[in-house]
Amino acid sequence: MAEDVMVAGVGMHPFGRYLDSSLKDLVRVAGLRALLDAGIGPKDVQMVYSSNAMAGMLQGQEMVRGQTVLREIGIEGVPVVNVENACAGGSTAFAQAVMAIRSGAADVVLAIGFEKMFVADRSRTLDALESAADLDVVAGLGIQFTAVYGLRLRLRLADGSITRRDLAEVSVKSHANGARNPYAQHQVTVTAEQVLESRCIADPLTLLMCSSICDGAAAVVLARGGVLPRSERPAVRVLASASGSGFTLDPAGGPSGADLCARRAYEQAGIGPGDVDVAEVHDAMAPAELLYAEALGFCPPGEGGRFFRSGATALDGSLPINPSGGLASRGHPVGATGLAQLAELTWQLRGEAGDRQVRRPRIALAQNSGGWLEGESAAVNVHLLERMRPWT
């Protein structure tokens, strides 16, 4: 196996609506929290991968977004690589940071993601989201990822493998987890009836099943094993990091991008899906959890609904999924989402997740996708993390 890359520190700015906060304000909180968590200062960072998707369209800041926000926390003079990869930008920044350390280019690397989606004219945000696709195909059609998820779920409702009640109940679970998460945008519980009766967004998806416009930031400090002083907390290492891009699906069917990426991650780590103890998946619409449970190998194809109904994905289940609340409850500030998943899993592996802590996890999986190309995500990353110290 390649030399160990350790998750040295994580930090977040709570997700939500922050009309009076700038991108620099969001980054300052998340970045400094990650550095403090790692026990280092700004001058110890040797390289940065900075993820943002919309600041060019929404705030007018193009080209050097990372450099402009990182100056505020004293990170200057080192390479800053700006990453834009739709909703998968944060996990892509993480993947690049892992490669930088494994290649020997740096020993301590910061991956940071940030987004400010609340602006005076909400239509500008919706237009920005629409651009996460091939505009030669979708421009002017009003199709966004909400409709894509809706179409996928309608096929599953039609074949009977999932039910509308499943769509509602998985949303109930996500909101229940988010209510336990102080970083979540929506910290309220809901009932299945409330979910089903909320406004229809893209049939069968209703408002309470969907992620919403959100501001926030998240950061992860990665370090080569042995470079930083040993911490009293359980060490967390990167077990695998796999990335992929979209492709035109075979009309006859076949594995998805998430499926293929997960297979590569499992192969890197020398494990299988049955070894995963907790997962964060890209549920921009909460019911997407049912589909990703199949794609990631947690259950057989077509069994996502049954797997969920068994209770396996609950906080006290055999494989808790989205203990953070997921994108629909924790929030989905596009450039920060993938790193928020990894922060959550680090807290879970350390035993620091408070009221949403799952039972003694050793291996965690993060799956983050972004954009879409004719029915397939344009970008996808799957990362596996491992707790190094046995639970006592």
87 assigned to active site = yes
pLDDT in tens, 334-350: 999 999 999 999 999 99
Summary mean pLDDT of the chain? 94
Mean pLDDT, residues 292-302: 96
- What local confidence, expressed as pLDDT, does residue 95 receive? 98
Q: Has residue 310 got a pLDDT over 60? A: yes
Asked whether the beta carbons of 97 and 110 are under 8 A apart, the reply is yes
pLDDT in tens, 174-192: 999 999 999 999 999 999 9
Q: Has residue 320 got a pLDDT over 60? A: yes
Q: Has residue 137 got a pLDDT over 80? A: no
Q: Has residue 195 got a pLDDT over 60? A: yes
27 backbone dihedrals φ, ψ, rounded to 5°: -70, -40
Q: Do domains 5-122+214-224 and 133-205+235-387 have the same CATH topology?
A: yes
**pLDDT interval class at 76 (50, 70, 90):** very high
Structure tokens at 51: 């993820």
Neighbouring-strand partners of residue 236: 387
Catalytic choice (13, 87, 186, 299): 87
CATH for 133-205+235-387, options being 3.40.47.10, 3.30.1330.40, 3.40.109.10, 3.30.390.30: 3.40.47.10
Distance CA 89, CA 262 (A): 17
- What local confidence, expressed as pLDDT, does residue 126 receive? 87
**pLDDT interval class at 2 (50, 70, 90):** low
Q: Has residue 129 got a pLDDT over 90? A: no
- What local confidence, expressed as pLDDT, does residue 140 receive? 67
| Residue, of 173 and 151, whose pLDDT is higher | 173
Q: Has residue 253 got a pLDDT over 80? A: no
pLDDT in tens, 197-249: 999 999 999 999 999 999 999 999 999 999 999 889 999 999 999 999 988 77
State the pTM of this model. Answer: 0.96
- What local confidence, expressed as pLDDT, does residue 358 receive? 98
Mean pLDDT, residues 60-68: 96
Distance CA 51, CA 114 (A): 6
Please tell me the total number of residues recorded for the chain in this structure.
392
Of 217, 216, 241, 183, nearest to 6 by C-alpha is 241
Indicate the CATH number for domain 5-122+214-224.
3.40.47.10
Angle, in degrees to the nearest 10, between helices 288-295 and 257-269: 50
Catalytic choice (13, 175, 282, 332): 332
- What local confidence, expressed as pLDDT, does residue 385 receive? 98
Mean pLDDT, residues 263-280: 98
- What local confidence, expressed as pLDDT, does residue 1 receive? 42
200 assigned to active site = no
- What local confidence, expressed as pLDDT, does residue 376 receive? 82
Of all residues in the chain, the percent with pLDDT exceeding 90 is 86
Of all residues in the chain, the percent with pLDDT exceeding 70 is 98
Mean pLDDT, residues 137-157: 79
Structural domain boundaries in the chain? 5-122+214-224, 133-205+235-387
Mean pLDDT, residues 274-298: 96
**pLDDT interval class at 3 (50, 70, 90):** confident
- What local confidence, expressed as pLDDT, does residue 146 receive? 82
